[in-house]
């Protein structure tokens, strides 16, 4: 059982697809200025090869003023949406929401599951490029490897292998353009979601070549939806990235690829790990098209020399390709057919860096015990002025603590100060303070069965 309370004083950012987010990687939970809260419960059970998991919560967020016409015009232009978006105030949120909620079955070290599930495809704490928990979990059919395996013979040099595959359906998309013999036909209207929604499939394979080095390749593709029926042929086109190009658009859908790695320096493996990921739009791999790709990387020290209880993490990256003249700045995570593109319920599925931006962050924790810690985080983010008129900057500083009170209760607290300057949203620099408290109760028995 979880009870969480968040108070936001000042104007927050909550659109990482265009401007930025004050709170990232929070399963798409809503928040606005004022008092926000979530009250939820999770339960799980297992019997033989079968597993069931449930996590649901009531969410509340205050209302907010309508965006300006200048903001709406920018969004329409950046995403290729029709003009004339209505300037409506944002209503208060009061809803019950299912997060991770699925049933699964284990077969010979493979798990087959169906339901709403969150994924995290990469080593970056700030959010992997291809898939993070920044958006609400997606309803999907998923096959994943529970335990690594090795191929026989010479192929054993690939090391321990893990694989997972999924096909799911997005939510909240309002516009989709379809190439026809007569031209491009756009479906949708503001304020109404498409029916059916586009689908998303993904595949990831990870190779642990040595105890210190792991490398992964992954891809996702948005396909089908309103005006594009889901067929076996369309699904196979999406999975294998084949199909013709029509009017400049790829018939297989809106594809993305990524690679990630993690390397513990052998002589310093207890002290230093280097990791990162690369990401490309519509290319077979960012390794083959580095100038058309974007990158982020990090260093992690689980303990500092002479300070064994203090860790340190440094990360940085960009979603602006270094030398890709055919890509207007902001084209990453965007598509000419799927106009709401790489979002679900208006939240970016990918990295916390967001769109057309660069970001750096520092995280450090002092571990009082294996479960209790006090941490600080500093984050800087800059949006490219070629994408966002006059650009934008965002700076966050936060301190938090996690404590277990006995075996059944835990408390997490955090306070963050943010200062941002985005002339399109506000003429003057803005600041806010976000204070949160989360109380978690872990009973000895869950609703569905014994605690594992």
Distance CA 44, CA 114 (A): 15
Q: What is the pLDDT of residue 339?
A: 92
pLDDT (tens digit, 0 to 9) for every residue of the chain, 452 residues total? 777 889 999 999 999 999 999 999 999 999 999 999 999 999 999 999 999 999 999 999 999 999 999 999 999 999 999 988 899 999 999 999 999 999 999 999 999 999 999 999 999 999 999 999 999 999 999 999 989 999 999 999 999 999 999 999 999 999 998 877 677 888 999 999 999 999 999 999 999 999 999 999 999 999 999 988 899 988 888 888 765 445 444 456 899 999 999 999 887 767 899 999 999 988 889 999 888 899 999 999 999 888 999 999 999 999 998 877 677 778 899 998 999 989 999 999 999 899 999 999 999 999 999 999 999 999 999 999 999 999 999 999 999 999 988 778 899 999 999 999 999 999 999 999 999 999 988 776 544 444 33
Q: Where are the beta strands (DSSP E) in 181-243?
A: 183-187, 199-208, 213-223
- Both structure tokens of 360: 């750096």
CATH number, domain at 44? 2.40.160.130
CA gap 24, 19 in Å, rounded: 13
Can you tell me the distance from the alpha carbon of 233 to that of 356, in angstroms, rounded to the nearest whole number? 34
pLDDT value at position 269?
65
CA proximity to 262, closest of 212, 301, 203: 212
Here the tokens at position 199 are: 């689908």
Tell which residue, 37, 27, 85, 97, has the closest CA to residue 62: 37
For 64-137, where are the E strands, in sequence order? Answer: 93-107, 110-117
Alpha-carbon distance 413 to 427, whole Å? 32
Query: Is residue 452 situated within a structural domain?
Result: no
Q: Does residue 449 lie within any of the structural domains? A: no
Residues in the chain: 452
Cis link prior to 196 (omega < 30° from 0)?
A: yes
Q: What phi, psi does 353 have (nearest 5°)?
A: -55, -35
13 phi/psi in degrees, rounded to 5? -100, 135
Say how many domains are in the chain.
1
Per-residue tokens: 386: 């070629």
Answer whether residue 447 is part of any domain. no
Under 8 Å between Cβ of 238 and 250? no
Closest CA to 37 of 452, 450, 443, 435: 435
Position 450 in a domain: no
Give kind and range of the element (H or E) at residue 232.
helix 232-240
DSSP assignment of 21-62 equals ESS-SSTT----SEEEEEEEEEEEEEETTEEEEEEEEEEEE-
Q: Look at residue 123 and tell me if it is in a domain.
A: yes
The maximal CA–CA distance of the chain, rounded, in angstroms, is 70
The model carries a pTM of 0.91
Structural tokens at position 219? 């891809």
- Residue 32 near residue 94, CB atoms below 8 Å: no
Tell me the three state secondary structure of residue 379: strand
pLDDT at 252 (0 to 100): 64
Within 13 Å, how many C-alpha atoms sit on residue 373's CB side? 13
Domain of 171, in residue numbers: 2-441
At 2 the pLDDT is 75
131 closest CA partner among 208, 25, 234: 25
User: What is the structure's pLDDT at 447?
Assistant: 45
């Amino acid at each position: 059982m979880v009870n969480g309370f968040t108070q936001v004083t000042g104007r927050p950012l909550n659109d990482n697809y265009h401007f930025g987010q004050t709170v990232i990687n929070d399963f798409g939970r809503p928040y606005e200025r004022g008092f926000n809260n979530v009250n939820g419960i999770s339960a799980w059970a297992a019997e033989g090869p079968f597993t069931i998991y449930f996590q649901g919560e009531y969410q509340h967020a205050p209302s907010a003023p309508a965006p300006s016409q200048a903001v709406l015009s920018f969004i329409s232009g950046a995403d290729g949406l029709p003009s004339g978006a209505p300037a409506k105030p944002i209503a208060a949120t009061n809803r019950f929401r299912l997060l991770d909620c699925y049933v699964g079955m284990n077969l010979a070290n493979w798990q087959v599951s169906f339901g709403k599930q969150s994924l995290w495809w990469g080593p970056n704490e700030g959010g992997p490029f291809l898939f993070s928990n920044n958006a609400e979990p997606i309803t999907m059919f998923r096959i994943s490897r529970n335990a690594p395996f090795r191929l026989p013979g010479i192929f054993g040099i690939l090391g321990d292998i893990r694989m997972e595959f999924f096909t799911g359906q997005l939510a909240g998309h309002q516009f989709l353009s379809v190439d026809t013999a007569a031209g491009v036909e756009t479906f949708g209207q503001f304020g109404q979601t498409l029916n059916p929604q586009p689908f998303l499939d993904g595949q990831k394979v990870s190779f642990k070549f040595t105890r210190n080095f792991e490398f992964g390749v992954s891809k996702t593709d948005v396909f089908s939806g309103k005006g594009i029926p889901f067929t076996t042929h369309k699904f196979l086109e999406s999975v294998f990235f084949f199909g013709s190009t029509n009017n400049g658009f790829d018939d297989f859908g809106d594809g993305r690829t990524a690679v990630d790695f993690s390397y513990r320096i052998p002589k310093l493996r207890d002290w230093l790990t280097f990791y990162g990921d690369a990401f490309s739009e519509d290319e077979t791999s960012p390794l083959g098209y580095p100038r058309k790709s974007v990158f982020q990387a990090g260093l992690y020290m689980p303990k500092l020399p002479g300070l064994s209880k203090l860790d340190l993490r440094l990360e940085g990256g960009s979603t602006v390709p270094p030398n890709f003249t055919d890509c207007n700045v902001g084209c990453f995570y965007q598509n000419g057919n799927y106009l709401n593109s790489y979002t679900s319920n208006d939240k970016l599925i990918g990295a916390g860096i967001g769109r057309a931006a660069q970001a750096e962050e520092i995280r450090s924790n002092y571990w009082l015990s294996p479960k209790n810690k006090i941490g600080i985080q500093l984050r800087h983010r800059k949006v490219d002025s070629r994408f966002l008129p006059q650009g934008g900057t965002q700076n966050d500083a936060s301190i938090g603590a996690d404590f277990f009170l006995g075996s059944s209760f835990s408390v997490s607290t955090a306070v963050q100060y943010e200062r941002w300057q985005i002339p399109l949203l506000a003429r003057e620099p803005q600041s806010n303070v976000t204070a949160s408290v989360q109380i978690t109760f872990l009973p000895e028995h869950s609703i569905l069965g014994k605690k594992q």
